[in-house]
Structure 1
Amino acid sequence: MSAPPPVPQGDYLPARRHRDLIFTSGMTPREAGVLTHHGPIRASDPLEDHADAVRLACRNALTAARATLAEGEAISAILSLTVYLVTEPGFTAHSRLADIASADLRAELGEAGIGSRAAVGVATLPGNAAIEIALVAAV
C-alpha cells in the first residue's frame, strides 16, 4: 500500500494525472502538514544543513505522484524536476542542492529518475519554506 499524498495547504490537488503524465504541485518540506525547514538559505550555510529539507520535499512530490497510480502501475520516468530555493544574495550553489533531489530520484527509480531540471532561487515561498519541489512524471 502506498503512502497517502501530502495534505494540500490551500485549494489545489497534490498531483494531477492526465493520461500517462503526472504533474505535482510544489511540495515543501512538511511532515504531517508541519513545515520542518524555513528559509532563507544563507551563502555561508554548509549545503548538508539543507539536505534533509531537499529530501523531504522531493519525497513529498514523489509520494503525491505515486498516489495517482492505479494498482500495478509505476512511474516509468521523471520528465522534469523543478527545485525552488529561498536564498540570500550571494548564494550560488542552487544546482548542488538540486543534485540532492536528483540523487534521491535516481536511487529510487534508477536512470528513469533523471529528467530535465531547473534549480531556481526565489525571494520567498509559501509559509516561509526554504525549498519547494515540483515534478512531472510519466506512467
Structure 2
Amino acid sequence: MNHSARMAEAGIVLPPVATPAGAYIPAIRHGGLVSTSGQLPFIDGALQATGIVGSTVTPEAAADYARTAALNAVAAAAQAAGGIDHIASVVRVVGYVASSPDFGGQPAVMNGASNLMTEIFGEAGKHVRSAVGVAALPMGAPVEVEIMVALR
C-alpha cells in the first residue's frame, strides 16, 4: 500500500504548508533527502495552544500538539519531494518541548509525532529521534517538530 492510500484509509489529510514566519523555507531537498524547518502545531493558520509542558500544558495535550506539528512537517516534506508517494522513508524526527524545569517526559510527548510517522508510512516510518526539553519556543508554542526523509 502506498503512503497516500494509507493516509486515505486512516482519514489523514495533509494541511497546506505554512508560510514561513522568518528568513527560511519550510523544507529543502538535497540529493536523496528532504529536511524540514521546525514546524509548530498550526491548524488553519492558528496556533493550537501556547504554554509550558508540565506547567500550563498537560503531557497528553502536548502529544496531540506534537502530532499536529509532525503532520505539518510531513506536508512540507511532501511538497519538497514532489508528493507524499515520493518519500521512501522517515530518517529522523527532532522534537522540541517547551518544558517546566522539573518535566522529564519529553519522549512521551514526542510519541505523538513518532506514532503519526508509522500511521502514514508504515514500517518506513520508523526513525531515529531526539526529544529535547527547552525553556521556550517561537510564539509560545508548546512543541516544535522537524523531520528528515529519504526519497525514492
TM-score (ref. length: structure 1):
0.90
Q: Residues 6, 95 of structure 1: CA spacing in aligned structure 2 closer, same or farther, 3 A cutoff?
A: same
Report what 2:97 is aligned to: 85
Query: How many pairs were matched up?
Result: 139
Deviation (angstroms), 1:35: 1.3
Report what 1:18 is aligned to: 30
CA distance, structure 2, for counterparts of residue 44 and residue 69 of structure 1:
37
Report what 2:143 is aligned to: 131
Structure 1 gap ranges (5+)? none
Report what 1:56 is aligned to: 68
CA distance, structure 1, for counterparts of residue 142 and residue 148 of structure 2:
21
Pairing 1:33–2:58 present: no
8 Å contact kept, 1:84–1:133: yes
Deviation (angstroms), 1:88: 0.3
Deviation (angstroms), 1:30: 1.0
RMSD of the TM alignment (CA)? 2.0
2:54 equivalent among 35, 42, 63: 42
Q: Residues 7, 41 of structure 1: CA spacing in aligned structure 2 closer, same or farther, 3 A cutoff?
A: same
Structure 2 gap ranges (5+)? 5-13
CA distance, structure 2, for counterparts of residue 97 and residue 72 of structure 1:
25
8 Å contact kept, 1:3–1:67: no
Report what 1:104 is aligned to: 116
8 Å contact kept, 1:81–1:117: yes
Q: Residues 71, 25 of structure 1: CA spacing in aligned structure 2 closer, same or farther, 3 A cutoff?
A: closer
| Amino acid in structure 2 at the alignment position of 1:115 | H
| Amino acid in structure 2 at the alignment position of 1:118 | S
Deviation (angstroms), 1:3: 4.8
Q: Which moved more, 1:48-57 or 1:21-30?
A: 48-57
CA distance, structure 1, for counterparts of residue 26 and residue 83 of structure 2:
19
Q: Residues 71, 135 of structure 1: CA spacing in aligned structure 2 closer, same or farther, 3 A cutoff?
A: closer
8 Å contact kept, 1:4–1:67: no
Note the alpha carbon deviations across 1:72-125, whole angstroms, 9 max, x for none. 852111111000000001111111111121111011101111111000000111
3-state DSSP of counterpart to 2:35: strand
CA distance, structure 2, for counterparts of residue 127 and residue 36 of structure 1:
11
Percent of residue pairs bearing the same amino acid type? 33
